[in-house]
Amino acid sequence: MLIAGSVIFALIIFKDSFIPASNDAGDDIAFYEKDITPGNMNGVRPDVIKAGDSFYINFLQTEPKRSLGMIKVDSRLNTQYLGEIYSGQDGSNPTDARMAVDGKNNIWYSFEAVYSGPDKNYLNLARYGADGRTLELIDTKDKIAQGVLASPEINKFPESGSEQVDDPLPFYYSGKYYVMTRTFQSPVYKVRVFDNSFNLIDSYSLDLAPAIGQNALSVNSLVEIEGEIYMITGVFNNRPPGDPEAISKIVAIPLQKDLREAKGDKIELTNGKKYSSYVSSAKYKDGKLYVLYNNFIGKTGNNLHEGVLEIYDAKNNFSRIRAIKINGGKMIDNHMTMEFMGDRLYVLYNTPEEKLFVKVFALKEIQTNKFSLPLTFFNSLVNIKTSLISNLKQKKDR
C-alpha cells in the first residue's frame, strides 16, 4: 500500500496535466506522457535544452506555416509557446535545428535553411537570452557554409566527402562555440569554431578513419564521461537501409581533448543486427550513458524507423542495461531529444500526425534491467484517481 499510496498522491498533485502513456511504443514503463503541441499547430523534429529551471524546446512548425518555433516547459509540463524564432522571411525553409547552452546560460542553436535551387542548403546560427518569460535575440550568423542535398527518395547522391549541413551539432566547449557537420558517405566531420561574437576563428576536418575505417558517419552527439570526450554516432558501410549487405551500428569514439582526432578505437554499443543510426541525443548521468537513436525497420514508400532509448553502464565497459522503444515504426524520420531534471528523464518526440509529445521516466525505474512496475499499473491508478475525484464532486453537489 505504501507504493500505491505514494503514486496516487503524485497523480493527484499533478491533477489532469498528464495522460497515461500509450503502449504503442512497445515498452510499458513510461510514467506519463503529454501532448505539448501549441494550439492548432503541427510540429516535428523537436530539440530540447535545459536552461535554469526550465526546458526550452525548439521544433519545426509545419502548420499553419513552416517555421521554427520555441516552447518553454517546466518540470510539471506546464507549457508556454514563445513564438517563432525563424520564419523563413528571406525566402528559405528551415529544416533541422539543434540547440546548446553557452557559459552565460544563453540558448543558441545551429540549423539548416533551404533556399530554392540546387544545393541551396545553408548552415546558420542564432543566440537568444531567456529572461523567464520571453526570448531576446542576441545575434545571428547566416550562410556560414553551403551543403549538398542527399536523398535516396529522389535518387540524389552527391560525391563522397561532400559536406551536409542538415542536423548540425552545436556545443559550447572551452569557452568557444563549436558546430559540427557531416560529410556524405565519409568518416570525416567538418568542425567550425566561433568566438563570443560568432566570428569564425578556426575550422578543420575531424577524420575518424583511424577508429572506424572508411565507413560513413551518421548524425551524432558529444558526451563528456568522467573527464573524457566521446563521440556517440552511427557508423555504416555505405550500403543503403534495406540492402541485404547493409550494416549500421551505434558506437562511442573517444576523442582527444582538442577534438581534432580520435583517442582510441571505437566502442560498439549496438551489434549491427538491426540497422541502427542517427543518434539524435546522448546524455551522461551518474555512471549511465543514455542514447537516443533510430532503428530502420522497413520500407513502404519511405524509410520507416522506430525510436529507441538505450542505456549503458559507462563504468562497466559500456555494458548494455536495457533498451526502451520510444515510438513505433510509422515514422519516416525520428528526431527525438531528451533532458534530465531532478530524478526524471524527459524524452521528446513527434508522432506520425505531427504532434509533439513528451514521455517522462523515473530514473530509478530505468537504470537497471530489473522488474519495473508496468505502466498498466499506473494507468489503473489514474482510473482510480479519476473515479475518486468524480465521486467527491458528486457528494459535494448533493
Per-residue pLDDT of the chain (398 residues; tens, 9 = 90+): 233 333 332 332 333 333 344 434 445 567 788 999 999 899 999 999 998 889 999 999 987 778 999 999 988 899 999 999 998 767 788 888 999 999 998 999 999 998 876 668 999 999 998 765 678 899 999 999 999 877 655 556 778 899 999 999 999 999 999 999 999 999 999 999 999 999 999 999 999 999 999 999 999 999 999 999 999 999 999 887 778 888 999 999 999 999 999 999 999 999 888 889 999 999 999 999 999 999 888 765 566 788 999 999 999 999 999 999 888 766 666 689 999 999 999 999 998 888 999 999 999 889 876 544 444 444 455 456 556 666 666 666 66
CA dist 139 to 101, 125, 364, Å? 14, 8, 40
- What pLDDT sits at residue 238? 82
Distance CA 55, CA 75 (A): 8
- What pLDDT sits at residue 40? 87
Cell triple for 394: 458528486
Cell triple for 160: 563522397
Q: What is the DSSP letter of 5?
A: H
Task: At 67, give phi and psi (nearest 5°).
Answer: -165, 170
206 near 173, Cβ under 8 Å?
no
Q: Are strands 216-225 and 356-362 parallel, antiparallel or unpaired?
A: unpaired
Express each pLDDT in 94-118 by its tens digit.
888 999 999 998 999 999 998 876 6
- What pLDDT sits at residue 189? 97
Cell triple for 9: 498522491
Q: Can you give the pTM of this predicted structure? A: 0.85
Helix (H) or strand (E) holding 302: strand 302-313
- What pLDDT sits at residue 335? 85
- What pLDDT sits at residue 24? 40
- What pLDDT sits at residue 26? 42
Distance CA 282, CA 339 (A): 9
CA dist 306 to 46, 58, 332, 359, Å? 16, 21, 9, 15
Distance CA 361, CA 349 (A): 14
| CA-closest candidate to residue 331, choices 354, 360, 305 | 305
Cell triple for 116: 530554392
- What pLDDT sits at residue 91? 77
Express each pLDDT in 133-146 by its tens digit.
678 899 999 999 99
Chain centroid to CA 386: how far?
33
DSSP reduced 3-state for 65:
coil
Distance CA 40, CA 315 (A): 45
